[in-house]
Amino acid sequence: MKFHWQSFLLGYGAGAGTVMFAKHLRPLLLEVATAGYRFVDALAARAAMKQEDLEDLFAEARARARGHGPAPTETR
């Protein structure tokens, strides 16, 4: 098998670059992770609100079906 110098140097450079820029990459990765958690939290909050709206809808439908709520109005 032939040794490929360009691949070796590319890999070595990537490893050395990672070590050299690790102090600069950490804050960037921290900001990206923070933004990801904020997005997931906002999505979970919206899902909880939608679930509550859906539960209210079903509770009202159940009450109407059992005769405890106002009768539906007819529109013409």
Q: Where are the domains of the chain?
A: 23-65
What residue type is 4 in one-letter code? Answer: H
Supply the pLDDT for residue 39: 98
Query: What distance in Å separates the CA atoms of residue 34 and residue 38, rounded to the nearest whole number?
Result: 6
Query: What distance in Å separates the CA atoms of residue 41 and residue 37, rounded to the nearest whole number?
Result: 6
Supply the pLDDT for residue 70: 62
H/E stretch holding 21 reads: helix 5-65
Supply the pLDDT for residue 19: 82
pLDDT under 70: residue ranges of the chain: 69-76
Supply the pLDDT for residue 17: 84
Q: What is the pTM of this model?
A: 0.54
Query: What is the CB neighbour count within 10 angstroms for residue 34?
Result: 10
Structure token digits, residue 9: 């140097």
